[in-house]
Chain A
Amino acid sequence: MDKKKILEDGLLEQYLLGELDDKTQKAVETALANDADLRAQFDALEEDFERIAFENAVAPPASVRDALEARIGDTVEEVPVRTLPNTNAQRNTGFWVAASVAAIVAFGAVWMYNQWQASEDNLKALETQTAALQERLSKLEANYEETASRYQQINNTNVVPLLLIGNEKSPSSKATAYVNHQTKEVILNAKGLRELDTDHTYQMWADVEGEMINMGLVKTDKDYIILRYIDHAESLNITIEPAGGNDHPTVENLISNVIL
């Protein structure tokens, strides 16, 4: 808008007093922003009007200030102190509601995922544990069957338990032989025999009409050794032989025998 027109039409005064319509007001504001001289005139005008107001000031009663103070305190939650341009309370409320819901859904999803992962881990752990338990149960069942079987082999009326006690060569040695003539089985518990060095081993022999027949090697770390059954055996004999066993017994190394 033309500066001359603004001044001659008294638009600066009307702008100051808030009388102008929006279009004219914007035109004056643009002119003020672009014309330093016009702006200086407006500044002076503002100063004059403000001075006139203070020269004609009237003190309001204190009750107005008190009421204002009370109202500010009462409405501090209701009156928005700051409003952002191009936004409104409803939009803000909607945004925050949406943001809250999104946050809850996000947290929920993360929580559900964590729960799912934890369940997966638990399931895997349980599966592993179950497999281990099944394996252990299988072993226990196998052991039980073996033990029951051994028990049946030993605790049988057809079984003759024979105690072999060490002679002067090995006085502390003891072993128990279980002989079943019905099933032709010989089982030996050799845990009571004295331990030998790695170059020697115990070996059991059956005496059949004076001939010593090999029944097998005897390991001292086993409590259940199955040996060969020899028909018509008259006695059972344990000798100390070189490691790996011997074809013929070393009679001078006989440590125990028992007559059947």
Chain B
Amino acid sequence: MPSPETHIKLIERLQQGDKSALLGLYDAYAKALYGIVIRICEREDLAQDVLQESFVKIWQKIEQYDSEKGRFYTWAYRIAKNTALNAVRKSTPLIQTDDLSVYTNKTADLPTDYSELNGLLKKLEPHHQRAIELVYFKGLTHREAHEEMNVPLGTFKSYVRQALSKLREAYPKEVLLLLLLVEMIGHG
């Protein structure tokens, strides 16, 4: 993840009209956002257009970003997700209006690398993993996602919270193991 100091300076430069800072933010966040966008769009050409459009919107709306309210990535994620969802709605016949299961099996068209989730998410139980995937990587709302998983809304919310809680518990251990490994290599 990019260091806070670096991205704060880039954001300030962009807010002051330095357009080159946008490319700096692109270099820092494009991969993470593209990982979201391509999983929502499920089409590389559309996802690429959406990513470009998202950064143009970031540029145009950078004045609206308030660091007091949250991280830049969170703000940029919302822009990218909404841009991707709009693009998908425009490019797909609206047959899914009453049938949210349209999202099901769509991943079959996506290159296998993108359909699989990586990192600590893989270590979560399948229903926890699926809950995070639907709301975070597919852009579904909680209401859409609980129907997708065919569980009550309250249950789905608890899936999300449990998933996040397990991730939080796991991360420090991962970081500790990583530091131990670096230390061993350093002394080796």
A interface, CB within 8 angstroms of B: 9-10, 13-14, 16-19, 29, 32-33, 42, 44-61, 63-65, 67-69, 71-72, 75-76, 79-83, 85
Contacts and interface: CB of A to CB of B under 8 A. Distances in A.
Contact of B52 (A68, A76, A79, A85): A68
Interface residues of B, number: 56
B171 A60 contact: no
B160 A10 contact: yes
A46 B164 contact: no
Contact of A42 (B34, B70, B135): B70
Main secondary structure of the interface of B (DSSP, over half): helix
Given A13-B161, A76-B19, A82-B63, A52 B132 contact: yes
Main secondary structure of the interface of A (DSSP, over half): helix
The 6 closest A-B pairs by CB, nearest first: A55-B119, A57-B31, A18-B78, A10-B157, A53-B32, A60-B34
A51 B171 contact: yes
Given A46-B71, A71-B52, A79 B135 contact: no
Interface in B23-37: 23, 26-27, 30-36
A51 B160 contact: no
A46 B48 contact: no
Contacts of A13: 135, 142, 157, 160-161, 164
A59 B28 CA distance: 11
B52 A64 contact: yes
Nearest to A58: B35
